[in-house]
């Protein structure tokens, strides 16, 4: 395996890891908002 191929593989791995981090962060934010909405609408007493 030559240096160019190794660099391309490493770059592809970094892009994939970055995409996973971004999508994971978006998922966590969306899940937190949904959990808060559920808690406020179902668990808190009506005023």
Say how far apart CA 45 and CA 40 lie, in whole Å: 9
Residue 47: predicted pLDDT:
58
What does each C-alpha distance from 32 to 10, 22, 37, 44, 46 come to in angstroms? Answer: 33, 16, 9, 17, 22
Give CA 1 to chain center in angstroms.
Answer: 33
pLDDT tens digits for range 1-47: 688 999 999 999 999 999 999 999 999 999 988 888 887 877 766 65
Residue 22: predicted pLDDT:
97
Residue 39: predicted pLDDT:
79
């Amino acid at each position: 395996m030559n240096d160019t191929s190794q660099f391309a593989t490493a770059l592809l791995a970094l892009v994939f890891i970055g995409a996973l981090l971004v999508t994971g962060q978006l998922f966590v934010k969306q899940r937190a908002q949904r959990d808060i909405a559920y808690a406020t609408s179902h668990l808190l007493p009506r005023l």
